[in-house]
């Protein structure tokens, strides 16, 4: 528990909240007093996550939401407002990443379209449905989860393009929503230890040396950044991309390792 109460009385909707970063965000905001609707396409797992948090005394409910379906998104927004009385914070964590095929020209249209539809257009659907309610709350905030893939080549062409698009959408929506009292920001994580890396501890350990801070991220690292941007502590912050990546994109560790012998001569 953080001891903070920055979201006391807030109604919050988190997409992709069954596991990983989304689940950590749901926990963090609920710990700070929010009433959270943890949505996911995988409802049984979202229900397990919500039930575990309720056992800790946190106000978290699960709800089925497929961000690729407009009706599903609108139902989740309506349920948040109907259940909690307001929608004050929207956190867009749902994403889809299709592994690259060996040759770019062999990538299928359907795979490319699926990554963009969930990862980028899904955020558009959620923001479109939520914005009137966020404006009505008087303290509305949107925080989306991007990726350092938007900044450098880490593979996954379609996913990376979608995450890069989130940066532009964040800025343009921030400009539109500012006059309505709604802030819109983006968090860009580096490698984070989630279920996607389950059984791959050796891979994570190999990546650790690329991070100046000496480790990969944990979901709680990202949740802390989301909590800041969604709170009134960031009342004068909008249209911003906050990289939470252990210094990965600020320091070229491989370059420094390669030139070290020359400095020692």
Residue with tokens 């991309």: 241
Non-local CB neighbours of 188 within 8 Å, separated by 6+ positions? 146, 147, 148, 150, 151, 163, 241, 242, 243, 244, 245
DSSP 8-state code for residue 216: -
DSSP 8-state code for residue 14: E
How far apart CA 248 and CA 57 sit, in angstroms, is 36
How far apart CA 192 and CA 175 sit, in angstroms, is 30
How far apart CA 126 and CA 116 sit, in angstroms, is 14
| Tokens, residue 157 | 């062409």
Active site residue 159: yes
Which position among 7, 84, 159, 211 bears the catalytic label? 159
CA quadruple 5, 62, 50, 221: dihedral sign:
negative
How far apart CA 200 and CA 211 sit, in angstroms, is 17
Question: What region, left, alpha or beta, does residue 20 occupy, with left being phi > 0 and alpha being psi -120 to 50 degrees?
Answer: left
- The catalytic site residues sit at 159
């Amino acid at each position: 528990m953080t001891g903070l109460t920055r979201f006391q009385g807030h109604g919050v909707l988190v997409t992709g909240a069954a596991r990983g970063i989304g689940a950590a965000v749901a926990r963090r905001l609920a710990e700070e007093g929010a009433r959270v609707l943890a949505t996911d396409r995988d409802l049984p797992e979202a229900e397990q996550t919500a039930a575990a948090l309720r056992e800790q005394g946190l106000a978290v409910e699960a709800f089925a939401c497929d961000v690729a379906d407009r009706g599903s998104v609108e139902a989740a927004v309506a349920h948040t407002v109907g259940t909690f009385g307001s929608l004050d914070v929207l956190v867009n964590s749902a994403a889809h990443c299709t592994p690259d095929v060996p040759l770019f020209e062999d990538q299928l249209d359907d795979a490319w379209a699926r990554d963009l539809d969930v990862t980028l257009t899904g955020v558009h659907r959620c923001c479109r449905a939520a914005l009137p309610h966020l404006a009505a709350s008087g303290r509305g905030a949107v925080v989306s989860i991007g990726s350092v893939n938007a900044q450098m080549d880490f593979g996954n062409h379609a996913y990376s393009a979608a995450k890069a698009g989130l940066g532009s959408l964040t800025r343009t929506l921030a400009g539109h929503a500012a006059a309505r009292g709604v802030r819109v920001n983006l968090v860009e994580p580096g490698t984070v230890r989630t279920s996607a890396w389950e059984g791959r501890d050796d891979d994570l350990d190999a990546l650790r040396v690329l991070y100046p801070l000496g480790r990969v991220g944990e979901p709680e690292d990202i949740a802390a950044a989301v909590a800041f941007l969604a709170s009134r502590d960031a009342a004068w912050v909008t249209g911003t991309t906050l990289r939470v990546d252990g210094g990965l994109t600020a320091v070229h560790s491989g370059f420094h390792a390669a030139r070290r012998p020359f400095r020692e001569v």
